[in-house]
Amino acid sequence: MSRKMKNKVLENLTIERIASEGKSVAHYEGKVVFVQNVAPGDVVDVRVTRGKSSFMEGEAIKIHEYSKDRVEPFCQHFGVCGGCKWQHIDYKLQLSYKRQQVIDQFQRIAKVAIPEVMPIIGSAETRYYRNKLDFTFSNNRWLTREEIDSGKDFERNALGFHIPKRFDKIVDIEHCYLQGNISNDVRNSLREFALANGITFFDMIKQIGVLRNLIIRTTSTGESMVIVQFGEDDKEAIAKVMDFLKTKFPEVTSLLYIVNLKKNETIHDQDVITYYGKDYIEEEMEGLKFRINPKSFYQTNSDQAYRLYQVAREFANLQGDEVVYDLYTGTGTIANFVAKKAKQVIGIEYVEEAIVDAKVNSEINGLDNTLFYAGDMKDMLNDEFIENHAAPDVIITDPPRAGMHEDVVNMLLKLEAPKIVYVSCNPATQARDVALLAEKYQVDIVQPVDMFPHTYHVENVVLLTKKS
Ligand SMILES: C[S@@+](CC[C@H](N)C(=O)[O-])C[C@H]1O[C@@H](n2cnc3c(N)ncnc32)[C@H](O)[C@@H]1O
């Protein structure tokens, strides 16, 4: 059984649990079937979309029985947008599934002894928790089946999010529960203004159109940054749009734009022009300021980022005389956050602009015991680096989803720091790395933290201490 199964309908499958990456699991004749967008407890008919020798994937085409754990999704765009795929599951249960994911990954991949996984730290805010959203303008709005079947003509310009796996189709967003403050207002007003004034929306296939992308960033201090990306250098239209935003939203503290004529929407290599206000916004944590410029990374759930950093600092348990390495430091947020309690903090990160920000953040906070270096971790953290710097007492590491390069893990084994605090947004790669570190380290605490309610994503912090 494999490809033959494609498109076959499997009837009355009971969804049993949620596995990694949010996929729900059922069984058919002893074989695992992964199904998207259902809830454990549902009884469904599944159309197979992919058949492999060891598992199948499918979509639910009919729900016979709804799980008692389902709740009513609160967003009108749920099911189409793909942003908050777990809105139909009670938040408490979401948290238990996330914690279970951590347990499963450590059992399946790390296969090392771990203490009981701590209760997950949930997010106090489960709506409007993001400080950054990225919307796309398109002249190819996603139409629902009912709209197509109605035979009517519809407005095809849209400003919203990409449909999952469809780069060229955009769902027009009327209200998004992910970002509060001015976010919904700015997006909807700008769309309305553009439609009323005949300003063109981007055509992703032909690569033409004036309005291309809108990024909105907010902070808990009340500052906000709005960046409009234009797909054509039409000075008149640009002035019209930017003037409109400046007049309508005087509370925006940083109003910027980019003329992006290349194929994709990424902005890292683009010139950002300040139209009004400052070219950065500032977030604050325990009185520390963090400067965020248009290209800077900053954790998108500020409140939970604070909880995450508190956990990391607690695990590090600094007494004031330690040398701390903060690996994958980004804009040095963790490094600066723990600096007051350490003798010295050394941050490494490969995005050079982020390292510039990290240094600025130390400077504006009067921290003079930090050092930051830009470069690929596996090349930076070498014997020469170690010879030229004090040996670490504590290593905090927060790698991207792919986890740490094997050379980096080997270097950590060589460094033999008494403590490693491993922060991860992907428990699978974290478990893989912990298995390698287990040669010299034991797992003392495993603490999941939820940064992204209504998604399957989970952040996990592990405290490793050197075996005696
Ligand atoms: C999960 S983020 C951590 C950010 C930071 N700790 C924070 O909380 O804001 C991972 C960081 O690793 C950086 N990174 C990814 N691959 C890298 C590599 N090979 N060498 C150095 N840094 C890397 C990314 O640019 C990103 O800033």
SS3 assignment for 195-240: HHCCCCECECCCCECCEEEEEEEECCCCCEEEEEEECCCCHHHHHH
Contacts of residue 151, Cβ cutoff 8 Å, sequence gap at least 6: none
Which ligand 1 atom is the nearest neighbour of the CA of 308?
A: 8
Task: Match 């749009």 to its residue by tokens.
Answer: 241
- By percentage, how much of the chain surpasses pLDDT 90? 82
Per the structure block, which two tokens stand in for 94?
Answer: 């979401």
Rounded to whole angstroms, the Cα distance separating 216 from 212 reads: 14
Rounded to an integer, the average pLDDT of 323-329 is: 98
Q: How far is the CA of 244 from the centre of ligand 1 (A)?
A: 37
Angle, helices 427-437/406-415, rounded to nearest 10 degrees:
40
The pLDDT value given to residue 134 = 96
pLDDT band at 459 (very low <50, low <70, confident <90, very high): very high
Please give the distance of CA 301 from its chain centroid, rounded to a whole number: 9
pLDDT tens digits for range 8-26 = 899 999 999 888 777 889 9
User: Would you say residue 151 has pLDDT above 90?
Assistant: no
Residues in Cβ contact with 430 at an 8 Å cutoff, skipping those fewer than 6 apart: 105, 403, 422, 424, 460, 462
Q: Is the pLDDT of residue 3 over 80?
A: no
pLDDT (average), residues 346-352: 94
Pocket mutation for ligand 1, best pick of 292, 348, 349 (most atoms within 8 Å of C-beta)? 349
Check residue 148 and give its pLDDT.
Answer: 84
322 pLDDT band (50/70/90 cuts)?
very high
Q: From CA 203, how far away is CA 138, in angstroms rounded? A: 6
What is the number of the ligand 1 atom nearest to the C-alpha of 330? 27
Amino acid at 46: V
- pLDDT given for residue 165 in this prediction: 77
Q: Which has the minimum average pLDDT: 293-297, 333-337, 413-417?
A: 293-297
As for ligand 1, residues whose beta carbon falls within 6 Å of it are: 297, 299, 328-330, 333-334, 349-351, 354, 376-377, 398-400, 425
What type of residue sits at position 450?
A: D
The mean of the pLDDT values for the chain is 94
As to burial, measured by CB atoms within 10 angstroms (0-12 exposed, 13-18 middle, 19+ buried), residue 105 is buried
Res 34 pLDDT > 80: yes
Q: Which residue has the higher pLDDT, 268 or 366?
A: 366
Asked if pLDDT for residue 2 goes beyond 60, the answer is no
| Cα 80–Cα 81–Cα 83 angle in degrees, nearest 5 | 135
Please report how the helices 235-248 and 183-196 are oriented relative to each other, as an axis angle in degrees rounded to 10.
140
User: Higher confidence at residue 7 or residue 93?
Assistant: 93
Of 350, 357, 411, 424, best ligand 1 pocket probe by most atoms within 8 Å of the beta carbon: 350
Edge-to-edge, what's the strand order for the sheet holding 158-163? 166-172, 158-163, 132-138, 211-218, 224-230, 254-259, 273-277
> What's the gap in Å between 325 CA and the centre of ligand 1?
13
Does pTM top 0.95 for this prediction? no
Residue 77 CA to residue 125 CA, distance in Å, equals 20
Assess contact for 160 and 168: CB atoms under 8 A: no
Across the range 159-166, mean pLDDT stands at: 87
> What's the pLDDT at 5?
79
CA neighbor of 1 nearest in space, from 25, 32, 26, 22: 32
Residue 166 has pLDDT above 80, yes or no: no
Residues forming a β-bridge with 449:
121, 459
Residue 160 binned pLDDT confidence (cut-offs 50, 70, 90): very high
Closest CA to 308 of 425, 220, 217, 223: 425
Pocket test for ligand 1, best of 297, 308, 422, 425 (most atoms within 8 A of CB): 297
Q: Residues with Cβ < 8 Å from 163, sequence gap 6 or more?
A: 80, 81, 82, 142, 169, 170, 171
C-beta atoms surrounding 277 within 10 Å: 18
Quick check: 1 pLDDT over 50?
A: no
Is 81 among the catalytic positions? no
